[in-house]
Structure formats: C-alpha cells, structure tokens
Chains A and B, each alone.
Chain A
C-alpha cells in the first residue's frame, strides 16, 4: 500500500509521484532513460513481454475467422445467394407441374387410344361398345346381335336392322381391308326407324330388318336368351321396336352370306 500512496515510496519499488513520468513512458512503451531505476527497467521488460508477439495457439482460430470474412465479403453476397435457391425452387415446382400435366395428358391419350383399339377389337363391355359403335363406328356389341350388311364392294358394315342368330357363334364384325381407312359413320346405313315409312330403296325384304325372336317357336334355340317379353297375342315382339319385321316363316336374308 505504501507504493500506492504519493509521498511514501516503497523501498526498492517504483512509487510516489516522482516515478509517474517513468510509468507513463513504460505504458507508452517508450525507451527509458539509462539512469532510470532498475525496477523501472524490470517493469518495462515485463510489459514488453506482455505485449509480445503471438504465442503458439493464439492464432488457432484464424482459419475460422477468415472463413467468416470470406463469407461476408463474398462478391455474390448473402442475399442473392439466399434468393437463388428460391428461384430454383420455383422453377422446379413449375417443371414438376408441367411434368404432371404431360403425364396426365399421356395417360388420357393412352387410355383413349386403348379404348378405341379395344372397341375395334370388340372386347369392350356392351354399353361401352355401343357407345364406341355410335361415336367411332366401332363394331356393335355382339351379344345384342351383330348388325351387318354388305355393300356392293363386299364390305361389311354394321346394319342395325339385321340380327344374327343368337344360338350360333356370333361372327365378329369385320371391316373392309385394303381400303386404308376406317369405316366412318357416313358408310353406316341409317336404321329405318319408322314403321310407317317404306324401307329405303334396296332395303326391301332383303334389306336390313330386325330379326324377331319367336318366343314359342319350335325352331328357337333352347339356349337362346329370352328376348323381350311375349306379346299378349302370342306374336313375337320385335327386338328393334318400330322396325318392319318379317314373319318368322320367311328366312332372313343375310346379304353377307357367301
């Protein structure tokens, strides 16, 4: 405590107001005069050692600090780098949406094409086959009767007015080959729906007609499916209402028969 009190210098140690200029020189790390007390010189050496160069381990974190500096001083900057992933995310989401749409379109196209092919192969369930028959001129469903006729060129077209025998094997409808085109609706004869009107020319008795299924006819096949309910008077009910039918005794003329 003596050294800290002015006017009471501690023996052998710097103290008192008279040493303050020397202490200021030590703090400022200036060279002491040669006639300064040895204690002052010792203190100056101590402080010089305290402010000495770096010792091993004191610069160990230089790499980490430099890395932080590089990141902060990057010419790209933080905000553009932070925005770039957002742009990538946006473009990725757009691309994924486009891919989903394309995949959906491909699935729909494949399903439609497959349905059309299945319709032309006549393997669809009857309601769908009928729809395909109406829309894309695919063969009519065979279990409701194969409606066919043959035009002058020998091509067989769907003819709603002709019923195939239900007991026998149902011939699969075929389309003209070698013509290079699918039969369109324009080639399909329109059914004659009005019983009051005469059949179109060329469709008279040999034209397309609904073939009746006599319910109690001895010639009817036992395994034939039952067609519309019997009429109260015992006459066969035409399966195509409104279409002129021939009596069961007259044979149905199949124009496509060889």
Chain B
C-alpha cells in the first residue's frame, strides 16, 4: 500500500512526542512493506530509511493560490530509498506553538530552533484567545500546498497527524478521492485546559467530522473525542504508541551520586503536565525524607509560577530547575534519576514514561494519561492527589525491592510494546477505510 502521510515533525526535526511517534509509525509500516510519502512543512538535511520518502510541499504549491503564498525556499524532494519520500513544505510551524510565540519568531528560523532539541519547547498559551492570523494561515497554506502535491503523486490512503494536518488531509482527499485517516495524538482541550483556542478547536472538530476514520492514541483520548467533539465511537480506533527497538536495546545502566535520591520531572511546564502537583508532592516528601533531590526539566508558561512556589515552600535547596534539556542532557538526566514522575492533568498518551523505563527508571504516572492504559508496571496515581503522589515517591525511595521489581518487570514490559504491532493495527484501519470507501461507491 502507498500512504500519503501528513505530519509536522519527523526526526531529527522534532520538538516533542509527535515526531517520535511518527517515526515509529513509519518504521513499523515500512517494515510491513508499505510505501510512505511523508510530507513535512520543510525538510533540512538527509534522512535515510528504507521505504520512506520525505518530501517538501514547497515544490507543490497549488497554482490557484500561488500568488498568495510567500516565497518559499527551494527544496528538492529527497528520495532516500525507493519506498520512502519525505516532502518538505517551507513553514516555521510547530505543533505546540502559541500564537504569541509564533508571531514573535521570524518565520525562517522556526524549524531551525525546533531542531535544537528533541523535547517540547513551545507551548500553547493559556491566554490563547488572541491567536494571530498567521498560525491558522500557515495551516491553510500548508493544506493548499499538499492539495497540489496530491495531484502529482499516487497513493492509496491519506494519513494525517493532529489538527495542523487537517486541511492538508481534506484537500488531498478532495483531489485524490482516497480515504482520509486522522490520527489524534493530542487535543486542544488536553493542551490548554479551560483556555482553549476556538479556532484550533474548530479545525479539530472539522477534521474529526471529515475524516473517514480516526485513530486515537488511547482509550482516554477516544472517550474525549466522543464526549467533547460528539464523534461516534465506532468511527475511532485506538492504537497505542510503542517503544522503538533502538530504545529497547538500550544498555541498562544508571549513573550518578547514589547517596542522594533524585526524582525527575520532564516536560513542558504547562497546565497539561501538572508541574504544580509535582512541586506540592515534593514539599510533602521532604517533610518525611529531607535528603531527596527533585529536578524539573523543561520550560513553559508556568515556569515562573513554579519557581516562586518552590521558594514560597522553602524547598529550593532540594528542588532544581534545569530549563530546556537537549538530547544528551536528557539521557544523562534519566540516567541519574531514581524515579520519574508524570503527574499530567490530561495526557492523550505520554511517551516519556516509556523512555524513562527504557533507562531503567521506575515511573509514577497519572491515571489520567493514555500510557497508563498500556503499562502495568508503573505506579498510578490521581494527578490531583498530592498526598498519594508523595506516598508513592517515599515508598519507591525507601524500598529498593519495590524499585527493582518495577524496573525489572517494566523492562520486560516495554520490550513487548513494539511499533510493528501498532503498524499492523494501523494497516487494518487503512484496509477497512479503503473497503468502506469502495462499497460506498467512492
């Protein structure tokens, strides 16, 4: 099968979990023998995989709209291998941009900045009511370019990731008549809580209604799509994310000063990730175990508030902010941690606990996360229950047998969560969608 895949991140151009997931999905699908044309806003540098073609949509601007488009950087489609194409469209868009950050950044360095790290740096602002026209305009422009690209490429199915690919997906379907699968990794209501951006919500809602079928990264996300967006549950299939075999092969080793225990938080410091609950739990733990170090890595619109709260609680000596961590620094942070905590308020999936487990770090995760559906060998808490989080942290630090049991069983567990299995489920969704389209006379 030939797949037109529309995304916003692809390693090494990633800022978060979406890119990692896209790579896993394409790896899995190409292993199954499928061919993929992956269209990105812009491709820099070379990517080498077997059946994936990464393309830039920049070369495929829709003639009708050419004059409205800004000049784009010339970028050749890079064909790495017969089965894989990656097409870049020149755009500084990132999935987790807020309008304010978007407009404050020169368009051209957007992607370059994103390449600096492999972790989410830019966030949806809680006061996001004033999204500039530019962000949505970019999404529309990308959509037009993909529509044009769709005219010159042949494929059997369209697979679009998250809201930013919605217009692109719908346009590609309009041009080709092929079924559109919308893959939801994250929803606006998860990212922004009560302060949702109306336009994004509308685009999401439009895409969910338009798609021939929807893939959700968790049952949690599926139920939110059903309840908040009014989509019929039979139109949604759950496919959990997985762990790359590269990660599963990682050497099991931890380093660092083992006289002091380290508890780690990594993620955007935003409402969605529940950093405030982590800080409060830290203060509770320190009442009982004074010799524990807490590390909060990442940036976000709640950073300042968190720093102030740590000072207010008087726990600054044991609580450290690292700011945004990059590649190797993230690895080091995992390696020196005794425990990873993800107290997310609303987490469609949450791939970082799987990463932590692959570094032999036991994890505490919120029950309100998609990943908690997938893994058994983790401690699961309600994000709002600070005492429960603190209780679990103390237990893990106090009882080595508990930590060892979680590490050993968790290690066994994540080895089995493979992308090729997720890809098989996705391929089934394709097959059904194509069949339904055919039966409907499409």
The answer to whether A binds B is no
Residue numbers of B with Cβ under 8 A of A are: none
Residue numbers of A with Cβ under 8 A of B are: none
